[in-house]
Every structure is written in C-alpha cells, then in structure tokens.
Chain A
C-alpha cells in the first residue's frame, strides 16, 4: 500500500516534472480580464477550465473590460502591467493597437489552424480588424420588443424602421446613449442605401439628416448606457421596443421567459475578442499566447456557444455549434450569424468610427442636451 502510493507519487512527480520542463519558459498563472456575468462564465466553461485541467495553469479573473483601455494605458505608464489576456470589443482593440498598448499578433503562426488546415487568418477572415486583435465572438446590437402590447393590435415590428413607426407601434423605446449604430439605423430608415451610409455620414448634412430622423422619436426614447438596462426595461414594461446586445435578449426570452421577441432586421454586427498587453515579460507572454491559441481554436469557440448566444468568430466553428448546456435548446437559431437572422446585417466600419468618433460623439451629446 505504502509502496503503491509512493510509486503513484513518484510517477505523478515525474509527469509533473515533464510538463514543467515542456512549459519551462511559461508562467504558471494567468490573469484574464473580461466582462463578468454570463459571458465570463461561458468563457470559463469553454476555455479556462479545460485549459487549467490540461496545463495546471492558475487563473485569476478580473471583470474590468469596460474600462480596459484606460486601465491598460495607466498600467503601461506606471510600467507595471498586471493583466495577461484582455477581452475587449474590436474598437477598443484598435485603439489599444494604435496606442502601442497591445501586442501585435501574427495570426497564422501564433494561432491554431482550422481542423482542415485552413490558416487562422483565413478562418477568421475579415474579422481580424486590427493587427493586435484575436476575434472570439460575433455579437450584434439589435432590437427586442414586447409581444403583449395592446396598442399594437396584434401586429409585430418586422423592420428596424418600425422603431420610427409611432402610428402602428406606439410606446417608449430604448436606444444606446452613443451615436454608433443609432446614426446608421437613422440613415437606413431615412432611405439611404446601405452602401452609402458612411459616405453620407461623412458630410455635415448627412449627420444633420441622421439627427433629424432621430428627432422624430427623441421624446419617446429612454437612453441606456449599460447592456443590462434594455432587458430590464422590457421586462418591467417601461419600454416596448429597445436595442441591446443579442445575448442579453436571449437570456430575457429563453432563460427568464419574458414576453419579448427578437427583431433581427439590420442588426449591427460587432466583434469581441482578445488582446495581449504589449511589454509583458517573456514567460507571461508565452503563457498568454499559448492560452489564446487554445481558447480560439475551432472546437473551443464552438463550445462557448453552448453557454451564450454569440456566434463563434471562426468560419470553421459554425457547423459545430450544438445545444445550450442547460436548456438543451438548439443554439444555432439564436446566433446573430444564423442565415434566418442575418437577412439584413451591418458590420461597423471600424476605421470610419475611429476617425470620426470624437467629432460625432460631441455632436450626439450636444443633440441629446438640446
């Protein structure tokens, strides 16, 4: 008995030693920054728990993604970067890359190829919007509406322009308190062709036109700044129609069984993914890269969709999306990328917004104050 346990001990020590040797240049802990909530637990279930089992890496989670850009800049200035892998939206990844705060990624060499051998850069395709960005999910900002509004006489909105249709669909709306997405929707519903939206928005008249369109419903809009607000407002009956992230609406509809339905028309695709802070010590950087390569491979990205209704960023992951881990419902129809949902979609022009965000945002805030 004693001998046996000694032997087990010896072998495990040996096994441990060999792992340690293989990972000799990698740090054995990892600080991952994300958004908290259901999203972060989907990442833990799909990525960090299996990775920890495989490598013994110790994970620390920090729920600071909302202020990641500012915090990373402050850390870089203090020359003390405590984060290893940071989950950010694509626009923030671009800004971090521009500021030199994020590591440039060689997608083909640093990330896993698809099972059929397609290199990562092709598998992710256009979603690699910045050299520092490793895409993870496609989510969308889209509308949800209450299904029990009496004044609607049994009709349901089918187009994003129904947000402006106060005659058929009266009631309070909720929109995000920033120009992105709202300006595009306003122009689309004002008759601008989808291909011309940013050209129109580039001109002063175009911006004025978008605001004029938004003016039509301004009195009936509650402005939100946190993603959880619209689901709450919908559930309370405070608003009858509101925009938010599709995963939040999924949870209101499927997990909380509220009388709410999705309006996918002209959903705004956006990306969320990982960056590694620039200037990490070599061992931590190696560990972070190793984790990213694991966490963004085809199977792992598909696994995440079991826990939350966001679409995997790899083309090769889409066929592997299965059922919700607890509810047992098929996840594919709830994905923003599902063909039935993605009839009319819109991908942010990140470059355009990076250029014009400051200017348009000032005008948007001034417009709100009027």
Chain B
C-alpha cells in the first residue's frame, strides 16, 4: 500500500470498511441505544400527555355534530339565504328535518345537538329537547310539516334559528375561537360581542398582568433568601432550605385556606393592624377575595420555584469575585450590581420562567382567594370543562393560552436568551 493510495482512497477502518461509514454506524448504534433508553419515557409522555392534549385542542375547531346529526337538512338548507325579518326555509327543508329528526330522536342524539347549538343561540337546547320522538310521532304526514313543527315550538319558523343551523353546519368551525376572543358571527359578518358579555380578552390580559406581578414579587422576596442560603455555612443553610421546602409538603388547599384565616377582614393580620392602631376598626383592609389575595397566596405557593434555581446558581458564584471587586475599590452596591448580580442572572431567568408558566395556568388558588378581580382565564376554562360542558370553547381558550405562553417564551428567549438559563 503506497502513500498515494492512502491520499486518494477513502480512509479505511480496521475491518476494511470506510472509516466514515463505520463511524456513522457506530454513532447510529449509539443513538439507537440512547433512544431505546428513553423510549419508555417518550412513549409514556406521548400516550398520556401529547396525544390527549392534541386531541383536546382539536376540539376547538371540531364541529361534525351538526352535519352528522341532521345531514339531509344541512344539505337542503344550502340554497336558503338568511334575510333580516325574512322567511324561514320552505317545506322541502322541513321534510328533510323531519326525516333527520326521526332518526336522531330514535338514537337520542337530538338533545346533544341542541346543547351544541345553544352555545351559539340561547333557546336551541329546549327547542331540540321539545322536538322529541313522541311529538314527531303525532305528525300528520299528509299535511304540510312546517306548521306542525311550529306547533311544537314557534321558534322553528324563526329565520335566526335557521341561520344558526346553517352557519354552523361546516365540519370545522372557527366559532369557538371567535367566542374565545369575544367575537361572534352574525348575519352581517363577524362582530364583537356586546360589552355586557365580553369577558375573555379582559381575563387573558388580567392573567398575564397578575402572573407577571407574581413573578416579580417572587423574585423580590426570593432573591435575598437565595443569597442568604448560598452564603450560610452548610449546616444552617440546610435548615433554612428545609423551611423553604416545607410548603411543598403541605397540601395546596391547606396552604390556601391558611391564607384565608390570615388575610380576611376579621383575620389575624387585620386584627394586629387594628390593635397597633395602623388601621381603623371600621376600615379594615380588604386583603382577600380580590387580586391582592391572589398575588399574596400565589407568591407564597410559587416562591420555592424561584428560590431553588436562584440558590443553585448563586452557590456556584465564587465569593472571591465580590471580595476582589471590593479590594479594587468598589462600593458594596457596585460590587453587587456590577459583579455579583450579572452572574446570578441565569438563576433569575430560570426561576422567572418557572414561576411565570406555573402561575399562568393556576386555577385552584385564584378560585378560592381571588374573589371577582383575582380570577384567571384558567378558572373559565375549568368552568367550561366541568360545568357548562362547552369543551370546544374550553379547548379554544386553552389553545390561545398555550400560544400566548409560547409567544412570551419566544420574546423571553430573545431578551434573556434561553441558553443563559440555568436550573442548577
């Protein structure tokens, strides 16, 4: 083998295969092994987390129920056009409606459609419930059907009812997303809902403002504690650390209820303030059942998530740097601000993002101590999931919240740089 062969031909491994290939194979095997190692976790997350969330989010646009329950009516309704104060659709549509409703009532799915359409227009729920098997059974098929439907409920002749059915007959709807940002579809196009029922935009804004406030209060309270922890001898630091972790071991509900006892108008804090004469007895502070209550209780609950990343970063900052700065003539403030603080920024970054993301999705604490102006968008999501059963709207609200968090995360990355964030 001459040296020229070596230069022109590919570099070979010991077994004669090209080195590049052999290396790639070895790496691939390594990658496969790594993948196999994380496979159980990956599958677990995929099956129990990502897929259900994805399915839930898809509900925000899913609208198959209308065209699946009354397919013939939807088709017959295509040519009809809504006119303000105009006529309802003709007899042909009612004939199809009769057919569809016969099948739907037999399968008992007509009420489900009623609940769905009731989200768009009040009254649809009982309209469909009333139009039941028994009443349809009494129809005289020789006679026109429209008046007989009107006998069940006059609303069947209301053009707005038909507009609602028609405009919601697509299998995919933007209606939930519109509702989630206080918009609605009217015969004249998309309009904002009247002021007296607009809530979601306000709630989104409030959720973000309060979450940012909570993040800042956590930072202001957590920073000195973390600094103290990292500068104490190990023994006392561990004791303090246990105190920081203690809230973790107490039930969330107990912690929140404890705040009620402390903060209410006849509570401990107000009693003390009245006793030392800071506050008049008939003018006690409203510290709970409002935004103040939410900020106080959630700051307490989320504080460890700020302290722990800060602590782990601060522990790695050599105390000699500050000492060096001082020996070179810096004042205490300059030494802190120019030398110590910049090194703790990765901890602040990590703590802030943890606290903010946890805060933005919280709902139990705001529900219990938030009153009316301290509740979050997640409280409405919970309401629509558990109480009103409007899962489509809940999914749309959740999707928007998720998107908002992602956008904020992106901005955060631009400002702080996610590479600078250190969890430990």
Interface residue ranges, A against B (CB under 8 Å): 66-67, 69-70, 73, 95, 97-100, 104, 172, 177, 208, 211, 222-223, 225-226, 236-238, 351, 354-359, 361-363, 365-369
Contacts and interface: CB of A to CB of B under 8 A. Distances in A.
B109 A359 contact: no
Q: How large is the interface on B (under 10, 10 to 19, 20 to 34, 35 or more residues)?
A: 35 or more
A67 B384 CA distance: 11
Contacts of A69: 386-387, 389
Contacts of B372: 177, 223, 368-369
Given A69-B387, A351-B126, 14 more contacts: A95-B115, A100-B108, A100-B112, A208-B196, A238-B264, A354-B125, A355-B126, A357-B388, A362-B199, A366-B195, A368-B372, A369-B203, A369-B372, A369-B373
Interface in B367-424: 367-368, 371-373, 380, 385-391
Interface in B109-125: 109, 111-112, 114-115, 118-119, 122-125
B199 A98 contact: no
A98 B129 contact: yes
Contacts of B174: none
A39 B375 CA distance: 29
Nearest to A222: B289
B109 A100 contact: yes
Contacts of B237: none
A356 B118 CA distance: 8
A355 B125 contact: yes
A355 B123 contact: yes
A225 B363 CA distance: 13
B202 interface: yes
A365 B126 CA distance: 23
26 contacts: A69-B386, A69-B389, A70-B385, A70-B387, A98-B112, A98-B114, A99-B112, A99-B115, A99-B389, A177-B372, A208-B196, A222-B371, A223-B289, A237-B266, A238-B265, A354-B125, A357-B388, A358-B119, A358-B122, A359-B122, A362-B199, A366-B196, A366-B199, A367-B196, A369-B199, A369-B202
A71 to B, nearest CB: 8
- Max count, chain B CB within 10 A of own CB: residue among A208, A223, A237, A365: A365
A275 to B, nearest CB: 14
**Which 5 A-B pairs give the minimum distances between C-beta atoms?**
A98-B111, A368-B372, A70-B386, A359-B122, A362-B197
Interface string B334-350: 00000000000000000
Contacts of B109: 100
Contact of A225 (B196, B266, B367): B367
Interface in B93-112: 108-109, 111-112
B386 to A, nearest CB: 4
Nearest to B394: A70
A277 B390 CA distance: 20
B269 interface: no
Contacts of B76: none
B388 A358 contact: yes
Given A222-B371, A358-B388, A366-B198, A236 B111 contact: no
A366 B126 contact: no
Given A98-B125, A366-B196, A369-B202, A361 B266 contact: no
Contacts of A363: 196-197
A356 B124 CA distance: 9
A98 B197 CA distance: 26
A359 B388 CA distance: 11
A63 to B, nearest CB: 14
A351 B114 CA distance: 12
A357 B118 CA distance: 9
A237 to B, nearest CB: 5
Contacts of B371: 222-223
Contacts of A99: 111-112, 115, 389
Contacts of B125: 98, 354-355
Given A222-B289, A366-B199, A100 B266 contact: no
Nearest to A237: B266
B171 to A, nearest CB: 18
Nearest to B373: A369
- Max count, chain B CB within 10 A of own CB: residue among A66, A69, A362, A363: A362
B173 to A, nearest CB: 16
B86 to A, nearest CB: 22
Contacts of B114: 98
Given A355-B122, A362-B199, A67 B115 contact: no
A100 B111 contact: yes
Contacts of A100: 108-109, 111-112
A367 B197 CA distance: 8
B370 to A, nearest CB: 10
A209 to B, nearest CB: 13
Nearest to A172: B265
A357 B390 CA distance: 12
A217 to B, nearest CB: 13
A99 B126 CA distance: 13
Nearest to A364: B197
- Max count, chain A CB within 10 A of own CB: residue among B118, B125, B266, B368: B125
Nearest to A211: B196
- Max count, chain B CB within 10 A of own CB: residue among A67, A225, A359, A366: A366
A356 B125 CA distance: 9
A367 B372 CA distance: 10
Contacts of A70: 385-387, 389
A98 B115 contact: yes
A363 B197 CA distance: 4
A104 B267 CA distance: 50
Contacts of B124: 355
B119 A365 contact: no
- Max count, chain A CB within 10 A of own CB: residue among B196, B198, B266, B371: B196
Contacts of A177: 372
Contact of B197 (A237, A238, A359): A359
B240 to A, nearest CB: 33
A249 to B, nearest CB: 19
A239 B218 CA distance: 32
Contacts of A361: 388
Contacts of A236: 264, 266-267
A260 to B, nearest CB: 15
B329 to A, nearest CB: 55
Nearest to B282: A151
A55 B71 CA distance: 49
Nearest to A232: B260
Contacts of B385: 70
A238 B118 contact: no
A222 B265 CA distance: 11
Interface in B259-283: 264-267
Interface in B228-268: 264-267
A273 B112 CA distance: 22
Interface in B184-206: 195-199, 202-203
Given A69-B389, A369-B372, A97 B264 contact: no
